[in-house]
Chains A and B, each alone.
Chain A
Amino acid sequence: AQSVTQLGSHVSVSEGALVLLRCNYSSSVPPYLFWYVQYPNQGLQLLLKYTSAATLVKGINGFEAEFKKSETSFHLTKPSAHMSDAAEYFCAVSEGFGNEKLTFGTGTRLTIIP
């Protein structure tokens, strides 16, 4: 069984500050890991994913995440927050190899302070 824990249901950062959203996973097999973003009243959009290649993954809109097996973590970062980053962010895990089913975390709502 696999699971995802997102620490902090709400995170606020000032515009221009570092964004750090935390995700820890549990999986019985080498996982595939994902970050999705949801803007208000919209569906989910893929930000980035880790599929056992490079441990530092770069995504869209300047976001990146690092897979750390020893810490079972996949934290999302962005060096400088922009007002347009305000959204809800979801971490998800799958078993890969065509399994395709995702297990989502409960989400982190990011607020940007002007």
Chain B
Amino acid sequence: NAGVTQTPKFRVLKTGQSMTLLCAQDMNHEYMYWYRQDPGMGLRLIHYSVGEGTTAKGEVPDGYNVSRLKKQNFLLGLESAAPSQTSVYFCASSYPSGGISTDTQYFGPGTRLTVL
């Protein structure tokens, strides 16, 4: 069981470039989340998904898009990167299919993104 994995671990972009961050989970979880972590601000929810084919906005969605074409994968896209998007991005998942909600989220190791 790999749990939640994120690709890539590090990335440097120039302003205006685009990229996609991949999150994968092998726990058969229904819900998946993307957060960003900035110094002194804790984790802020960007987008989340409550099932395959569904997505919703979180607290700070501007400048990001997401897709959940398969239950196990949740992609975060930056269409035109800006320096303000320099951050550490974490993916998480929760709620096993057919199971009971426990509200416990399981986190990936993070992606450190720098936008120059």
Contacts and interface: CB of A to CB of B under 8 A. Distances in A.
Interface of A: 9, 32, 34, 36, 41-46, 49, 51, 90, 94, 96-102, 104-107
A100 B101 contact: yes
Which 5 pairs across A and B sit closest by C-beta, in order of nearness? A43-B107, A98-B101, A104-B42, A106-B42, A44-B107
Given A32-B103, A96-B103, A98-B95, A104 B48 contact: no
Given A98-B95, A104-B42, A106-B42, A43 B110 contact: yes
A46 B103 contact: no
Nearest to A4: B42
Contact of B31 (A32, A90, A96, A100): A100
Contacts, number: 61
Q: How large is the interface on B (under 10, 10 to 19, 20 to 34, 35 or more residues)?
A: 20 to 34
Given A9-B40, A43-B90, A90-B43, A102 B105 contact: yes
13 contacts: A43-B90, A43-B110, A46-B104, A46-B106, A49-B103, A90-B43, A98-B103, A100-B50, A100-B95, A101-B45, A104-B42, A104-B43, A104-B44
Contacts of A97: 101
Contacts of B53: none
